[in-house]
Amino acid sequence: MLTRVYRIAVDNIDENAVRECCEIILRGGIVVFPTETVYGLGASASNGEAVKRVFIAKNRPMDNPLIVHISNKKQLYEVAEEVPEKIARAIDVLWPGPFTVLLRKGPRVAQEVTANLPTVAVRMPAHPVALRLISCAGPIAAPSANISGRPSPTTGFHAMVDMFGRVDAIIDSGETLYGVESTIVDATSKPMKLLRPGAMPVEKIVEVLGEEIIISPEARGYMESEKALAPGMKYRHYSPETPLILVEYRGDAEEMVEEVIRLAEEARRTGKKVAIIASSETIHRYKGFADEILTYGSRKNVFEIARNLFRILRELDREGVDIAIVEGVEEKGLGLAVMNRLRKASARTAKDGHS
Ligand code: TXA
Ligand code: MG
């Protein structure tokens, strides 16, 4: 398939380019576009055939629903039914931004978007290019623009690596702001439930809602397969090709460092080439213990760690190592999203990909 590439600067938006991409979507095409979290692969949310092409391009199972992206509050009432008063007030504060809310689905959203579920996930992205595109094309259904199971693209280049030749157009607006996906909350359950931690801290959402949100072990990234039967879990997420071992941070950096070194030495004894992914505070401790040492940034700045995470996971596969060991972070603020992604990336029982 012929893929057109548009470079659109965030601070100097080429309106003609946006209009061309909008027309592609209105004609039933699929377009990669930037958001403040990660790049998305969009189709018109009311066009079932176009939405099917998104699943095919990503190699994503059809039973995994997509998020609908909107650009104004009026569109929320077109795609969702019964918006609780509390949610209506909360989104005035949280939107545009990396907060996705699960509501009852309205009739104008194609069944393919929600995998026939009665609910729809909705968000208003805080990215000027995304907002312009949606204003022109109407609500856009979009998953992250990666091949299923791979880390989400945080640069136009990563989106091209995965999607060139598979989509009608790619908008490259450089690096995204957060580098992890939006936070998803199910507002149809009582009490509300966290479905996926992300770029908006749950603490912040709880504060704005004035209500508790249940955080299950699954939302922390512990896999269902740890309880389930032999065939392993249904989906694989965010995984690099290189096997990844996560060493959790339990409040004692020294203990964590020693565990990383122990695992690295063990792997090397069996002849494996080892990479260590560490924070800038502890990186000097690993000299001589690994073949490659990468850093995801400072422990004091979890925003930076989140932002670097998917890029590091992609880079890892180019290092030519047999195994990687990664340091965990504290599960606070964006740290919850980082740990969710790392736990999933390091779950090696996986059989199939999707996210
Ligand atoms: O930041 C983001 O959320 C990015 C950008 C592009 O907006 N999008 C994104 O989409 O991460 P995706 O498809 O990679 O992840 C969406 C998640 C999936 O895990 C999906 O299962 C869940 O949202 N989801 C969507 N609709 C749902 C529904 N009706 N019920 C339950 N889960 C739903
Ligand atoms: Mg995804």
What pLDDT tens digit does each residue of the chain (355 aa) get?
A: 999 999 999 999 999 999 999 999 999 999 999 999 999 999 999 999 999 999 999 999 999 999 999 999 999 999 999 899 999 999 999 999 999 999 999 999 999 999 999 999 999 999 999 999 999 999 999 999 999 999 999 999 999 999 999 999 999 999 999 999 999 999 999 999 999 999 999 999 999 999 999 999 999 999 764 444 333 344 556 778 899 999 999 999 999 999 999 999 999 999 999 999 999 999 999 999 999 999 999 999 999 999 999 999 999 999 999 999 999 999 999 999 999 999 999 986 434 444 5
What residues does 150 pair with on adjacent strands? none
- Cβ 38 under 6 angstroms from ligand 1: yes
Q: Which of 82, 204, 72, 189 is nearest to 130 (CA)?
A: 72
Q: Tell me, what's the pLDDT at 223?
A: 76
How many A from CA of 344 to the centre of ligand 2?
12
Exposed / middle / buried, residue 136 (Cβ in 10 Å: 0-12, 13-18, 19+)? middle
Q: Tell me, what's the pLDDT at 92?
A: 97
Return the best residue to mutate from 31, 67, 129, 178 for the ligand 1 pocket (most ligand atoms within 8 A of CB). Answer: 67
Nearest CA to ligand 1 atom 20: 65
Cα 242 to Cα 235: distance, rounded to the nearest angstrom: 17
How many A from CA of 284 to the centre of ligand 1?
38
Q: Yes or no: say if 293 and 322 are a contact pair by the CB < 8 Å rule.
A: no
Taking the alpha carbons at both ends of the chain, their separation in whole angstroms is 23
- Cβ 97 under 6 angstroms from ligand 1: no
Q: Which atom of ligand 1 is nearest to the CA of 114?
A: 29
Cα 287 to Cα 299: distance, rounded to the nearest angstrom: 19
Cα 70 to Cα 83: distance, rounded to the nearest angstrom: 15
Q: Tell me, what's the pLDDT at 231?
A: 39
- Cβ 64 under 6 angstroms from ligand 1: yes
Q: Tell me, what's the pLDDT at 237?
A: 64
Q: Which atom of ligand 1 is nearest to the CA of 180?
A: 1
Nearest CA to ligand 1 atom 32: 65
- Cβ 148 under 6 angstroms from ligand 1: no
Q: What is the pLDDT of residues 278-292, one digit of tens each?
A: 999 999 999 999 999
In this structure, which long-range contacts are made by residues 221-230, counting pairs with CB atoms below 8 Å and at least 24 apart in sequence? Answer: 221/339, 221/340, 221/341, 221/342, 221/343, 221/344, 222/343, 223/343, 223/344, 223/347, 223/349, 225/347, 225/349, 225/350
Q: Where are the beta strands (DSSP E) in the chain?
A: 4-7, 31-33, 40-44, 67-69, 80-81, 99-105, 119-123, 140-142, 169-172, 183-186, 192-196, 213-214, 244-247, 274-279, 292-297, 323-327
- Cβ 153 under 6 angstroms from ligand 1: no
> What contacts 167, CB < 8 A, 6 or more positions away?
1, 3, 30, 31, 32, 41, 57
Q: State how far the alpha carbon of 353 is from the alpha carbons of 19, 108, 122, 343, 349, in Å.
A: 33, 29, 23, 15, 12
Give the ligand at the shortest distance from the Cα of 147.
Answer: 2
Q: Tell me, what's the pLDDT at 241?
A: 87
- Cβ 54 under 6 angstroms from ligand 1: no
Q: Which atom of ligand 1 is nearest to the CA of 39?
A: 6
Sheet strand arrangement including 292-297: 244-247, 323-327, 274-279, 292-297
pTM across the whole model: 0.95
Q: Tell me, what's the pLDDT at 239?
A: 77
Q: Which atom of ligand 1 is nearest to the CA of 100?
A: 3
